[in-house]
Amino acid sequence: MQREDLNFYLQQIDVETLKEHVAEIVDKEQVKVLVEPEQTTIMLPVQEPVAKVNFYAGEVLVTQCFVEVNGVKGWAMIQGINNFKAKAIAICDACFAQGIYVEQILKMAKQGLSKWSKQVEKYQKLSTETKVNFEVME
């Protein structure tokens, strides 16, 4: 798993799991918050499926945070308002960048991937069930 993927998959994890792992990191490592979690909006890029043209569908509220763990910078941007989760993911990002706690972080990220995959599968199933059969409508 790439570092770029961690941010998204760790967002899927429940807060209690993050608290448990991040508490250990904060106790053992030098964690410095460079920019406290703050809310902002970003433009949501979307690709139009037929013409393959990019456009912006609107704004999304996000929480972002910048930290430093043992002198290595970490960053997180998560959808919605959740200051703790943004800070925890930023700490995980900095640890992953320097190669510490990698197994724990990857384990959480894989749990997040699994949770996300199940949600996608659920929504695809719902979408499939709502298709109209035009043969019946004749």
Q: Is residue 85 part of a domain?
A: yes
Q: Is residue 100 part of a domain?
A: yes
> What confidence tens digit (pLDDT) does each residue in 6-50 have?
999 999 999 999 999 999 999 999 999 999 999 999 999 999 888
Q: Is residue 137 part of a domain?
A: no
Q: Is residue 133 part of a domain?
A: no
What is the end-to-end Cα distance of the chain in Å, rounded? 50
> What confidence tens digit (pLDDT) does each residue in 49-77 have?
888 899 998 999 999 999 999 999 999 99
Q: Is residue 78 part of a domain?
A: yes
Residues 6 or more apart whose CB falls under 8 angstroms from that of 24 comprise: 101
Q: Is residue 111 part of a domain?
A: yes
pTM across the whole model: 0.83
Nearest to residue 9, comparing CAs of 107, 101, 80?
107
> What confidence tens digit (pLDDT) does each residue in 68-103 have?
999 999 999 999 999 999 999 999 999 999 999 999
Separation of CA 123 from chain center? 19
Q: Is residue 135 part of a domain?
A: no
CATH number of the domain where residue 116 is located: 3.30.160
| C-alpha distances in Å from residue 26, one per residue of 69, 72, 81, 98, 108 | 9, 14, 22, 15, 17
Range of the domain at 24: 3-47+54-127
Handedness of CA 31, 91, 72, 103 (dihedral sign): positive
Q: Is residue 136 part of a domain?
A: no
| Domain tally, the chain | 1
